[in-house]
């Protein structure tokens, strides 16, 4: 039989406190890592869904715009066709620029791991207060 020898004396309390602190810290880290993993999985699923939606939207928009351009060019009188093509191209490039800038601005407002960052800042404040 294995006998467990526990130290008795003034150092026992310090060792027990140290063990509790380490246990609490390990528990906090584990909780935060699990929260980060859950958030990353949710963001991954959301990102994949958004990419599929954007891809289908772009595909259908491209075919629609091509059909619209053919209709516009056929409907315009022969002497104004070149001007119609130039105006249509300019409008499409302007729309592409507007939507590109809008997408860039929206991507900079991303909230990736916001709950994890908030919890870590609260943990840091609690540790600094003690």
pLDDT in tens, 11-34: 778 888 888 888 888 888 888 888
Mean pLDDT of the region 117-130: 77
| Local confidence band at 116 (pLDDT 50, 70, 90 cut-offs) | confident
The pLDDT, as a whole number, for residue 1 is: 43
| Local confidence band at 94 (pLDDT 50, 70, 90 cut-offs) | very high
Checking if the pLDDT of 2 tops 50, the result is no
With b meaning 16 or more CB within 10 Å and e meaning fewer, what string describes 30-55? eebeebbeebeeeeeeeeeeeeeeee
The pLDDT, as a whole number, for residue 31 is: 86
| Local confidence band at 97 (pLDDT 50, 70, 90 cut-offs) | very high
Q: Which residues contact 69 (CB under 8 A, 6 or more apart)?
A: 85, 88
pLDDT in tens, 54-80: 999 999 988 998 898 888 888 889 899
pTM above 0.85, yes or no: no
């Amino acid at each position: 039989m294995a006998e467990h020898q526990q130290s008795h004396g003034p150092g026992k309390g310090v060792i027990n406190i140290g063990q509790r602190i380490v246990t609490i810290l390990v528990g906090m880290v584990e909780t935060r890592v699990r929260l980060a993993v859950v958030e990353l999985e949710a963001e991954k699923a959301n990102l994949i869904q958004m990419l599929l939606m954007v891809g289908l939207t772009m595909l259908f928009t491209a075919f629609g715009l091509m059909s619209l351009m053919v209709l516009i060019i056929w409907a315009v009188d022969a002497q104004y066709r070149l001007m119609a093509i130039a105006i249509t191209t300019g409008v499409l490039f302007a729309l592409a620029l507007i939507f590109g800038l809008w997408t860039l601005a929206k991507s900079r407002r991303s909230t990736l791991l916001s709950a994890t960052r908030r919890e870590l800042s609260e943990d840091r404040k609690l540790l600094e207060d003690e």
